[in-house]
């Protein structure tokens, strides 16, 4: 049967600010959602996916391994990204394979002499309309939004910047000291090259700078806790299973523990890495047969071994 990898990542504890580069007046804002009846800050799935693409680009540049070659390449010098091949290729490019693509071409009008013009232009006599075409691939990797594990209480810092004498600009930035939690799901067999699933696990285990962070705001998005499920069950059942105490420092996995005890999740399918959850829960999970390790990289290696088997 088909194997699936589902998981949940909880980031390091840090101060999030300016993670999308948008302003409301002179206030740099954080995105927010209503989560379990309270306001939480959030980071988009698109930002996480883009950070993964940058990780693969660096791996390709450092190792030359063609498996990690990406189509959309970021240039630090110009601050722009360009496509190497706008025809796209899931075989050639890691990001086209893992994240999918869509290339939509507008409808055209073909004149009697064979010349094609854009639809909307005045057609010549005897012209016929050609339908638009779409080349698309659904990305096998699905990623959720990242949600803060603690509610947002409206922290704002106010600052002043002096320029020309007598000209002072005031600005403010929303801040949130918290961890973020996001989840993912991927079916390696849906990839053009199934070995790229190993690159996905590596990337999720090593993300650091996600979103529109500027030099003055660094937030470490690397995992403090990772939960992987390697299974034949297409239903993830492990999304957003970590919860936090009021401080945001200590995490609890009682939701995951309940699902294992009920039989909805097989303990032997679960791999957990990290040390920021209660010791008694760690003991209870180990007693049920869950693989619990202290290191994130060590856990990622065990998951990759399970996939290779």
User: 223 with 9: CB under 8 angstroms?
Assistant: yes
pLDDT value at residue 209: 80
pLDDT value at residue 19: 47
Neighbours of 129 (CB within 10 A): 11
pLDDT value at residue 76: 85
DSSP for 150-185 reads: S-----EEEEEEE-STT-EEEEEEE-EEE-EEEEEE
Which segments in the chain show pLDDT lower than 70?
18-26, 105-132, 161-168, 212-217, 248
pLDDT value at residue 38: 96
pLDDT value at residue 110: 55
pLDDT value at residue 78: 87
pLDDT value at residue 137: 86
């Amino acid at each position: 049967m088909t194997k699936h990898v589902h998981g949940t990542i909880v980031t390091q504890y840090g101060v999030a600010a300016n993670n999308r580069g948008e302003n409301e007046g002179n206030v740099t804002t954080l995105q927010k959602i209503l989560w379990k009846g309270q306001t939480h800050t959030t980071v988009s799935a698109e930002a996480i996916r883009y950070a993964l693409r940058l990780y693969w680009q660096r791996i390709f540049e450092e190792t030359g391994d063609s498996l990690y070659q990406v189509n959309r390449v970021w240039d630090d010098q110009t601050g722009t990204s360009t496509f190497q091949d706008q025809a796209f290729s899931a075989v050639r490019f890691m990001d086209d394979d893992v994240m999918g693509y869509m290339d939509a071409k507008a409808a055209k009008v073909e004149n009697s002499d064979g010349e094609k013009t854009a639809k909307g232009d005045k057609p010549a006599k005897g012209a016929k309309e050609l339908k638009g075409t779409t080349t698309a691939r659904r990305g096998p990797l699905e990623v959720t939004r990242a949600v803060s594990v603690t509610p947002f209480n409206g922290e704002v810092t106010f600052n002043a910047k002096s320029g020309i004498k007598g000209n002072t600009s005031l600005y403010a930035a929303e801040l949130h000291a918290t961890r973020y939690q996001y989840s993912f799901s991927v079916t390696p067999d849906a990839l053009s090259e199934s070995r790229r699933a190993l690159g996905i696990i590596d990337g999720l285990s090593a993300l650091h700078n996600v979103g529109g962070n500027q030099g003055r705001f660094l937030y470490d998005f690397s995992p403090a806790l990772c939960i992987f499920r390697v299974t034949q069950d297409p239903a993830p059942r492990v999304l957003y299973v970590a919860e936090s105490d009021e401080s945001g420092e200590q995490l609890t996995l009682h939701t995951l523990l309940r699902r294992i005890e009920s039989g909805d999740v097989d303990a032997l399918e679960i791999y957990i890495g990290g040390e920021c959850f209660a010791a008694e829960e760690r003991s209870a999970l180990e007693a049920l047969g869950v693989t619990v390790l202290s290191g994130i990289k060590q856990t990622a290696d065990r998951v990759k071994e399970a996939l290779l088997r």
